[in-house]
């Protein structure tokens, strides 16, 4: 059996393919952001591809092209914003709805968008975001210092990631902290200005390759993910796998077994962060429960097995 994987999102496909059985023949079609590669280039690559199962990440043009070129059976893999936002837009929404109806199987990376997917395709199921245990694995916390290093791992998109709320929470801490943050996101300039106004020591650093993120997690005492829409992001999962205490707001309705809070306010967030910085017992317990959760739910070897079963079921139909 041969699987042709089209595109990717947050390295999900690449990570899963790494742990697929050796007997599975694999091809991954990638593209750049260039105009040619996003249009005729990707269409030509998909046209030439020959496989027994096709797996398209993100429910936009790549999935649509594969569907119209009759690449079957076809898995459409939604990753969040496609079913949360883009499906509502006049320009692109019709493509996503058509993909949902046309695919033989739908996977969604967030349980928060499963209901939307099921409206159009009864095969839809939640498929958790994987982490690579060869890159993201347990390490001891950095040595105790008076000034604790904190890493804001999400892009600065205030509406979706809520990093402005984390900055305000950090400004109210009694424990001295030094902060690292990636220079990414449409609100980067506003985040830099806000940090300055709040008197925070923030080292804004360039974006790093995916595999280098583990180094940023491991040098930090605590990692902040997102504080906004309630979904569980890749950065939070990977940081938990590195045994770093993570503060990240999730929706309790959708993540009942996840050991994270559904944060309601900046004051509550500051309280959670402060407790983890100064209370060793609280910190150790959180690390233990977070690691157990990601190992049982998000480890790539387990999810690759699950995906291989899905491939087999579609291949045999």
pLDDT in tens, 44-98: 899 999 999 999 999 999 999 999 999 999 999 999 999 999 999 989 999 999 9
Residues 162 and 275 in one domain: yes
Residues 203 and 114 in one domain: no
> What CATH number is associated with residue 125?
3.40.50.2000
Residue 312 lies in a domain: yes
Residues 84 and 168 in one domain: no
pTM of the model as a whole: 0.95
Residue 162 lies in a domain: yes
Residues 83 and 211 in one domain: no
Alpha carbon distance 269, 11 (integer Å): 29
Residues 115 and 6 in one domain: yes
Res 38: pLDDT = 58
Residue 207 lies in a domain: yes
Residues 92 and 158 in one domain: no
Q: Which domain holds residue 273?
A: 148-297
Residue 140 lies in a domain: no
Structural domain tally of the chain? 2
Residues 174 and 200 in one domain: yes
pLDDT in tens, 91-126: 999 999 999 999 999 999 999 999 999 999 999 999
Residues 109 and 180 in one domain: no
Cβ atoms of 235 and 247 closer than 8 Å: no
Residue 144 has pLDDT above 90, yes or no: no
Residue 32 lies in a domain: yes
Residues 77 and 179 in one domain: no
Residue 35 has pLDDT above 60, yes or no: no
Res 227: pLDDT = 95
Residue 136 lies in a domain: no
Residue 56 lies in a domain: yes
Res 133: pLDDT = 98
Residues 303 and 292 in one domain: no
Residues 49 and 166 in one domain: no
Residues 229 and 277 in one domain: yes
Cβ atoms of 87 and 101 closer than 8 Å: no
Average pLDDT, the chain: 95
Res 285: pLDDT = 97
Residue 300 has pLDDT above 70, yes or no: yes
pLDDT in tens, 231-288: 999 999 999 999 999 999 999 999 999 999 999 999 999 999 999 999 999 999 999 9
Residue 313 has pLDDT above 70, yes or no: yes
Residue 143 lies in a domain: no
Res 278: pLDDT = 94
Res 116: pLDDT = 96
pLDDT, mean of residues 117-138: 98
Residue 4 has pLDDT above 90, yes or no: yes
Long-range Cβ contact pairs of 294-299 (< 8 A, separation 24 or more): 294/131, 294/237, 294/240, 294/241, 295/241, 297/128, 297/257, 297/258, 298/128, 298/129, 298/130, 298/131, 298/237, 298/241, 299/130, 299/131, 299/133, 299/241
């Amino acid at each position: 059996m041969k699987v042709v994987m089209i595109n990717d999102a947050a390295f999900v496909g690449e990570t899963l393919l790494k742990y697929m059985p050796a007997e599975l023949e694999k091809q991954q079609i990638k593209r750049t952001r260039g105009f040619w590669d996003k249009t005729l280039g990707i269409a030509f690559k998909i046209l030439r591809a020959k496989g027994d199962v096709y797996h398209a990440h993100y429910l936009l043009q790549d999935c649509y092209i594969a569907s119209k070129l009759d690449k079957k059976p076809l898995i459409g893999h939604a990753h969040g914003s496609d079913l949360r936002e883009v499906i509502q837009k006049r320009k692109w929404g019709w493509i996503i709805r058509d993909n949902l109806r046309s695919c033989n199987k739908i996977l969604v990376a967030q349980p928060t968008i499963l209901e939307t997917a099921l409206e159009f395709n009864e095969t839809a199921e939640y498929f958790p975001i994987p982490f690579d245990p060869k890159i993201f694995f347990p390490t001891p916390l950095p040595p105790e210092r008076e000034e604790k290093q904190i890493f804001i791992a999400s892009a600065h998109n205030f509406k979706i990631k809520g990093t402005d709320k984390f900055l305000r929470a950090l400004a109210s801490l009694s424990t001295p902290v030094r902060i690292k943050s990636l220079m990414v996101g449409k609100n980067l300039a506003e985040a830099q200005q806000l940090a300055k106004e709040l008197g925070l020591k923030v080292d804004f650093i360039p974006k790093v390759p995916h595999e280098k993120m583990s180094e940023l997690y491991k040098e930090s005492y605590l990692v902040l993910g997102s504080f906004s829409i309630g979904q569980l992001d890749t950065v939070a999962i990977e940081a938990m796998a590195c045994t770093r205490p993570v503060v990240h707001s999730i929706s309790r309705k959708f993540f009942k077994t996840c050991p994270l809070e559904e944060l309601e306010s900046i004051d509550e967030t500051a309280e959670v962060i402060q407790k983890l910085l100064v209370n060793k017992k609280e910190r150790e317990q959180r690390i233990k429960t977070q690691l157990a959760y990601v190992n049982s739910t998000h480890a790539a070897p387990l999810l690759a097995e699950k995906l291989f079963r899905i491939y087999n079921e579609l291949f045999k139909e």
